[in-house]
Amino acid sequence: MKPAAAVARFLERGLAAVCGLVLLAMLALVLVTVFQRYLLSSGFLGAEEASGWLLLLLVCLGFPLVAGHASALRVDFFAPSPAFESVRQVLSETIVLLASLVLVSAGWQAALQLGGTSPLLGLAEWTRPAGLAASGAVAIILRCLQLLHRGELRRLIISAALAVLGWAGVTSGLTLAVMPPSLAALFVILAGILVAAPLPHIFILAGFVAIAFGSPLTEPALAAQILSGAGRSLLLAIPFFLLAGALLVGSRMADGLVRFAAALVGGQRAGLGQTVLLTSLTFSGASGSSIANAAFSAKTFFRPMVDRGYRPDRACAIIAATAVLDNIVPPSIAFFILAAATNLPVGPLLSGGLVAGAMLALALAAAIHLSSTPQAPSPNDERGSIWLLAARAAPFFGLGLIVVIGIRFGIVSPTEAAALAAAYTLAAALASKTGWTAMASAFRQAGVETAGIILLIGAATPLAFLLATDGVAAGAARLVLALGDNPFIVLATANLLLLAAGLVLDIGAAILLFGPFLLPVAIAAGIDPVAFGVLLVVNLMIGGLTPPVGILVQVVGATTGHPAARIFAAMPLYLAALVGALLTMSLGIAAEAYFF
């Protein structure tokens, strides 16, 4: 198996390196465009189109790496028996291989049917679905090599056989009329989550299996839908925010934030827990990713918290709960996804997220204070140097100012603001004499994470289409509206629906599925659409802490080695604080709609 290991390692390193280079090219292109537009009053007309093509190239290059990377977002919410574990692993690998095979088949068929060229660059349109097909083929090869390297030949043979049989069964032309296509797709998603398969692969497979149940989306149409969902121009901001967060962590510049937060609140009751909260609040201005913050805080704070007397499960619960803030406080990747799905303005959403984040942070601060014990002290060692630490941490707050002020007042577009934030962080990393190895690693990491997130968004697009054609999501919206147009009732019902969706759905997928259908209901009840958008994101982020999925709990548990079940058991107080803040915001928004 040594040749398999060598080839797999070569492919992994080569793809990751090219992902980093493509991300660097995207950053350079956007920055040059900003320079031309604002300083030279000129510009390259095809810059946005070129950035979109580079993003698609990044996704195609990164997809083969996703299955073995944290960006796969595998949901592992229970410990099965040894007998079922082997079955679950086989089924999970089957989903990975079958989803990759779907990309090969659907992408190739779409490439054969598609003609024309892009409007400004003149590139052949067939190359985009062909890129999906090539990405799927490389993903299959790499996954087979990885399994061979691990000595799992039997699992590979069984999984590959099941994948081929599944593909042949769906493409045989036989139509099963036992349930609507969207319901069949939802069952596939649930089954995929139960066997801990990667979420992007689950959603690709769900759209494919729906074909056997009468879905109007043929394989070429499925590829077109995935490309359409992944090709939204607003999504170009996501890789740059991920890069800013990766540079901040990889260069260890975030240590300054930690020390400054400790200086401010370290001497209070539960000072270390409050330090985690304040660090999450400030780190939000750089990463925009709750998963990134959960991993960073778990690595940084878990051991010190346990050493200071915190129970391991409570320490993990605090870390996971505070990580919620990163997808709410600007720059929030979730708000960019919501804006792409609903055409809401990004600037007001980010401003609303700032207010909502502050309310959630206050609620969490109270919960951390109430849950502290005399056995959890945190000496305030940094108080004497607070001004020096503030000066060292000050540059990091510039990231939030660039994003919020730049977008809110229309100075720059969301993509340009994200690129400026990444360039700002890169310049700070260079100024701090960060090694080239660390910076290259940050580019590679951000590139692969981008592939997982963007492909998940693209893969959820066919399901959103099916929910629309089958009337499922619209039916849920009608159910909310059937209770009346009273904003209090509408918001209460929408909150319950979104909290339930957050139990099992990834936030990106849930936004794409429910945002376009619930927003018109809120508007019909007189609710401000931007305020409702903020509530929608807050609802779904709380879902990141709730079983059975609880992705933030899963990330913290995987990073610290602490069982997720115990973290869930320690979470109720912090969940109550977040839900209480959500309730307060909902009442305020409903009252404004009702009385004014």
Q: What stretch of H or E contains 569? A: helix 564-569
Extract the tokens encoding 60.
């195609």
Among candidates 448, 403, 446, 452, which has minimal Cα distance to 245? 446
User: Is the pLDDT assigned to residue 587 strictly greater than 90?
Assistant: yes
Whether the Cβ atoms of residue 444 and residue 17 lie closer than 8 Å to each other: yes
The arithmetic mean of pLDDT across residues 183-211, rounded, is 88
Beta bridge partners of 117: 124
| Residue 386 is assigned to a structural domain of this protein | no
CA torsion, ordered 447, 453, 458, 462, to nearest 10 deg: 160
Supply angle C-alpha 9, 201, 140, rounded to 5.
40
From 166, 200, 231, the end of a domain falls on 231
pLDDT band at 284 (very low <50, low <70, confident <90, very high): low
The arithmetic mean of pLDDT across residues 402-424, rounded, is 73
Do 545 and 429 reside in the same domain of the chain? yes
Q: Lowest mean pLDDT of 64-78, 211-225, 412-426, name the range.
A: 64-78
Instruction: Specify the pLDDT at position 506.
Output: 66
How many whole angstroms from its chain centre is CA 326?
11
Residue 401 contacts by C-beta under 8 Å, 6 or more apart in sequence?
Answer: none
More confident residue, 378 or 246: 246
Residue 27 and residue 51: Cα distance in Å, rounded? 9
Whether the Cβ atoms of residue 277 and residue 301 lie closer than 8 Å to each other: no
pTM value > 0.95: no
Q: What is the mean pLDDT of the chain?
A: 81
| Residue 99 is assigned to a structural domain of this protein | yes
| Residue 439 is assigned to a structural domain of this protein | no
Residue 373 and residue 101: Cα distance in Å, rounded? 54
Residue 369 and residue 274: Cα distance in Å, rounded? 8
| Residue 449 is assigned to a structural domain of this protein | no
Do 281 and 227 reside in the same domain of the chain? no
Distances (CA, A) of 45 to 55, 340, 556: 17, 22, 44
| Residue 44 is assigned to a structural domain of this protein | yes
pLDDT band at 102 (very low <50, low <70, confident <90, very high): very high
Do 560 and 413 reside in the same domain of the chain? yes
Do 318 and 375 reside in the same domain of the chain? yes
| Residue 415 is assigned to a structural domain of this protein | yes
Do 193 and 270 reside in the same domain of the chain? no
Do 145 and 270 reside in the same domain of the chain? no
Whether the Cβ atoms of residue 523 and residue 272 lie closer than 8 Å to each other: no
Instruction: Specify the pLDDT at position 567.
Output: 87
Q: Domain total for the chain?
A: 2
pLDDT band at 396 (very low <50, low <70, confident <90, very high): low
Q: What stretch of H or E contains 51? A: helix 47-66
More confident residue, 38 or 328: 328
Q: Quote the domain boundaries for residue 110.
A: 2-231
Residue 511 and residue 547: Cα distance in Å, rounded? 19
The arithmetic mean of pLDDT across residues 117-126, rounded, is 85
Reported as a single tens digit per residue, the pLDDT across 140-154 is: 999 999 888 888 889
Residue 142 and residue 154: Cα distance in Å, rounded? 17
Beta bridge partners of 124: 117
Cα radius of gyration (the chain) = 23
Instruction: Specify the pLDDT at position 80.
Output: 60
pLDDT band at 381 (very low <50, low <70, confident <90, very high): very low
The arithmetic mean of pLDDT across residues 200-209, rounded, is 91
Residue 268 contacts by C-beta under 8 Å, 6 or more apart in sequence?
Answer: 274, 369, 378
Do 329 and 474 reside in the same domain of the chain? yes
User: Is the pLDDT assigned to residue 511 strictly greater than 80?
Assistant: yes
User: Is the pLDDT assigned to residue 209 strictly greater than 80?
Assistant: yes
Do 275 and 194 reside in the same domain of the chain? no
What angle do helix axes 529-542 and 333-342 make, rounded to 10 degrees? 130
From 231, 250, 266, the end of a domain falls on 231
User: Is the pLDDT assigned to residue 419 strictly greater than 70?
Assistant: yes
Do 222 and 242 reside in the same domain of the chain? no
From 231, 253, 277, the end of a domain falls on 231
Residue 91's identity, in one-letter code, is L
pLDDT band at 377 (very low <50, low <70, confident <90, very high): very low
Q: What stretch of H or E contains 429? A: helix 414-431
The arithmetic mean of pLDDT across residues 192-217, rounded, is 89
